[in-house]
Chains A and B, each alone.
Chain A
Amino acid sequence: MSTPMSASIEVGAATARPQAPTGFWRRALRHRSFVIGGTLSLMVLGAALLSLVWTPWSAYEIDVASKLRPPSAAHWLGTDVLGRDIVSLLLVGARSTIMVGIIAVGIGITFGVSLGLLAAARKGWTEEIIMRMSDFTFAFPAVLSAIMLAAVAGPGMVTSITAIGIFQIPTLVRLTRGSANAIWAREFVLAARASGKGGFRITIEHVLPNVLPILIVQATIQFALAILAEAALSYLGLGTQPPQPSWGRMLNDAQTLLFQSPMLAVYPGAAIAIAVLGLNLLGDGLRDLLDPRLARER
């Protein structure tokens, strides 16, 4: 493969031993990136969950009379140009972000991992076709495919989720195929074949469990990429549509008032940064924790 790889991690460190849970958590809680990343990610998740049951104000209620208020006891971070409470918008925005992230990464993992495993198991022209298709898809960034999709299906959350999901597939195909090829070359796969197992069972029972640690780490990074892409698409008006709040939309709304009320852009910007940083640190931590070479040194 001559095309450069996007964010993906080292291929080949693929074997993890099943850990006693206590051992895993004991090491995890001592791992700085894992703890910080986990905390930040949980904060975002907590905000999204909280918004389902409680927000200080309604995030949809427009009150132009009280627009652009500075922070106060009533509105902790003030209000936006339509008089909506910023804290409430951030909480509900977390929900959009997480939903888009989960569904888009879900699409990416489902198709990317299946195709990657298939390419590694079948080789030959199957692999060739999958890899060429994935190179082709890779050439289109999420924004471009979202613009094309929006032209056909109209802008909106479904469009942006689909575009981001498709955008995730090639990276995951390549990572999965690369790691799976390394597993296929291992002697225990030859031994499994020598005991009569076919390609499908070997993939499910031997290849997938051994590439799983790598995929888990990559999923956190893909999640962060999806959040960035969602924000970018909403900012461009191609993603989440009003009145549904999202961090990207908040940035978009803040844009025209950048000199008048710069904090309106800072809040959603910081929320995006916290989520992305949290997920990246979490991925970093998981990479160390799931690496058997480090795990074995007790």
Chain B
Amino acid sequence: MSGSINTPLIEVRDLGIRLNTSRGPAQAVRGVSFSLKRGETLGLVGESGCGKSVTALALMGLLPDSAVVSGSIRLDGSELVGLSDANYGKLRGNRISMIFQEPMTALNPMHTIGRQVAEPLRRHTNCSAAEARKEAIALLDRVGLPDAAKRVDAYPHQFSGGQRQRVTIAMALACQPDVLIADEPTTALDVTIQGQILDLIAGLVAERGMSMILISHDLGVIAENVQRMMVMYGGTVVESGATNAVFTRMGHPYTQGLFRARPRLGARKGTRLQTIAGTVPELADLPSGCTFADRCAIVEDRCRMALPAVVDVSAGHGVRCVRTDVSMAEAVGAVGA
């Protein structure tokens, strides 16, 4: 807790990530900047392959050794880029935690869930095995695992997907981290359980005053769970702002496309779901200009020249597009479309 009230908890400046792909090194993430205050929640949305997970792993310092990270990531004012793995290990699970998409594979099949939840406590605090176990039971109880005291010694395969995700949440929260990164925490779960898990996460985040970065490909999940949001495409943030502001008036053609393509409840039968033409490009094929240019309906030559600058369309609402005058002429968002 070294930083003052005013320094952001997390400050990312011009983050770039170069990855080795089968077709040589490629820039997976470019120019990502944002800051996150204590207790604030931020959403990261975009189609699969847009660089959301890679960005999250960069924050956790968990990218492969061959990845090259540029720019700056500060936690409470101290730089994380270039931190040794040993020092990063002291932060992971302690000050920054992460929940993964696949609860089926995120737990070690050979260890009991109680042991796995207690592990971060044993690693980061000097509590005894007995205390850690007691705390693990309390945590499992808090995340809504039925009969926690009895089931603490059971193995992962004895639980359903939703229950396992509750276990991984308990694991991530064991040491009361300052930041929780949830990477598609409900994507692998049944629709009926998704809401429960998201409510659980939101409740815990509020209760403990944590900051959260919630990653999802689903605009609906983002709309309901975070205060601010960033839309990612091709490794760049194409739009960012307060969730309300973005949903009221979407500025980027990609955000608008995502919004039009969202599945809607109660849509009249036979209404065609609109989709965005084309697919997310492979890393090696990312254009040097606007990454969305190849799929954009209002693309111009200048879009392909260089990565467009961020245009502030209102206070705190930025859009990385040179044609916001056209794209925003017709209001797309909660009221439009």
Contacts and interface: CB of A to CB of B under 8 A. Distances in A.
A267 to B, nearest CB: 45
Q: Which of B60, B93, B109 has the most CB of A within 10 A?
A: B109
A209 B115 CA distance: 15
Given A17-B157, A18-B155, A193 B92 contact: yes
A195 B92 contact: yes
A196 B90 contact: yes
A149 to B, nearest CB: 38
A292 B155 CA distance: 14
Contacts of B60: 194
A192 B108 contact: yes
Interface in B155-169: 155, 157, 168
A197 B124 CA distance: 10
Contacts of B155: 17-18
B47 interface: no
Interface stretch (B15-23, B94-102, B314-322): B94-102
Contact of A206 (B62, B89, B90, B108): B108
A187 B62 contact: no
A54 interface: no
B120 interface: yes
Interface residues of A, number: 25
A186 B105 CA distance: 7
B123 A187 contact: no
A193 B172 contact: no
Contact of A17 (B97, B110, B172): B110
B107 A15 contact: no
A120 B120 CA distance: 23
A195 B97 contact: yes
B106 interface: yes
A193 to B, nearest CB: 6
A196 B124 CA distance: 8
A61 interface: no
A127 to B, nearest CB: 11
Contacts of A197: 89, 93, 119, 123
B252 to A, nearest CB: 31
A191 B56 CA distance: 13
Interface string A195-234: 1111101000110011000000000000000000000000
A24 interface: no
A206 B116 CA distance: 11
B62 A194 contact: yes
Contacts of A292: 109
Interface in A141-195: 186-188, 190-195
Interface of A: 15-18, 123-124, 186-188, 190-199, 201, 205-206, 209-210, 292
Interface of B: 60, 62, 65, 85-86, 89-94, 97-98, 100, 102, 105-111, 119-120, 123-124, 155, 157, 168, 171-172, 174
Given A17-B110, A194-B62, A196-B89, 15 more contacts: A17-B109, A123-B65, A186-B105, A188-B108, A191-B100, A191-B168, A193-B62, A195-B93, A196-B94, A196-B120, A197-B89, A197-B93, A198-B89, A209-B110, A210-B109
